[in-house]
Structure 1
């Protein structure tokens, strides 16, 4: 019997990446009584900031949480008021305002860190192995596979699930595709204790998000939990422009003030008054369409499979992928059958969405 024909209940299943997609998949597999191990390169769950707020949609992310048995806990942690969206002109005047109806839970916001805590807390102790930086996947296509880690250790496994993000180390086992720079970058700035220390910014942004653009550059500010706001300054710039230019934080701020100089002082405060450093986040995407020939022992989910511009679909699709894959594994006779069933659903869905969002990072700069 080939390794790919191992029944899921007896298979060694390895998920690489402890983000929302990987953890959701692990949780649902465990609910079905299927053992799984998650490997993550970070030293622990608190090794780095997990990023800002995200919205989980009723027609994808929430479906996954329901399958994970965590939907009601999510609603207790989420911020439905975070669905409010504001559009501002360059004077800071409100030109459009979307306010959610009372009881609207279609896409409430939750901090990424809170979502990760929820998912981690739902797993059996020891499920996640921290400090395991993957170098690559070896072994024959029909298994067993071997995970090679940066510290020289290896693990033999029957199914490798790549949930390790944009620059996945699992992806090369099935695809030669590499993320390409979109030409657009986000520069992230943080604001803490905003109602007391940054009341003008807090008033402009409100409980959800606020966006302003002039056709060449844009600004998106988003309320997070704990009285925090994150601001993303959006520009067409070369990848790594700060490092390549040797710009200090003061140089960067001066250049931003020059580029945004015609914007209102209240908006410019989002450039000048941030707490801590700027964080450069160039936007990458995988080629469209992205697919691969079926491999019976390796598959991908989330950004590893279909990296797209950050327009509210990434985490939602990753979690839906995770739910579909876990259900396929639980319902199949063999690992090979499970991977086929999952990819038959996931690949067309992700290709359709990627085509819809292709080049959409540019739309963030539009003043229309």
Structure 2
């Protein structure tokens, strides 16, 4: 039996209080041969992207547990008793790092916990363009500022949870970062099961090949978008790496308040600045779009994309590749390009075949009561 994590016990006790008051269904997905599961190295992947990467890259010698389903919000979840137990029993815990999962932040330095996105070299990002759209009539006491830097929002859907400090944690939106993350995962798995080194290396090579082809495919789709319209305007700063990789300007319409009627001068500034930025569509990261983004669309005359982007993890039931392909087609079609969805589906299919290389998967739901 592998030595279990000893560095997690104190951290898990501290984190346990964060689960108080949280009664809901939490799913823990496991992959690996059913009979040998207890004797396998136990690997816990904290979020949907890492879960998919780890399951795809691991041999059947491992049992991979997924702390969150792909579509669950990594910013706001609380640990259930079952999840705390998994943390204590794991030989390796993989977290994204850079503040993506705040409840797990204290685990970054724990024994055998690896913050994967912190272990790779990231390209530096230019600051997301803040449209300076604040109403300057502060003497009236109104709160209808919509300057990107002020951090206020009326939407209940984790609008402020994308403020992660100096580093954007959404690194997987850049395929080269995803490839680097895959290398880290494979290295950590090889440390646990060196006898599987050859098989793990082969799986990694196949995964990297798909990710490289996905990157080349995305470049081709972006080329169909008129160059002057390559502007990503959404509520948050989650697609900085994507924008950098494919030559977009990213605008984050953060802090626009709908608590009061917007005065004509503010609305005029908003329309002018969006027009100057050549914004032709607004992208939501939730379905339905948040109230503030709907108001911006209505008052500026700029339409909302009919499909929303997936920013924080994976689409429901989707893989990393499927989610990336979906986001790319949403952006491409929304900006009046033409996305080759058939070629994107071919990439997704290749990834599914790779992910199904011998794992048997069981889903278990644990009812948590804080």
Q: Same fold (TM over 0.5)?
A: no
> Shorter-normalised TM-score: what interval?
under 0.3
TM-score, with length taken from structure 1 = 0.22
Structure with the higher strand share, 1 or 2: 1
TM-score, with length taken from structure 2 = 0.22
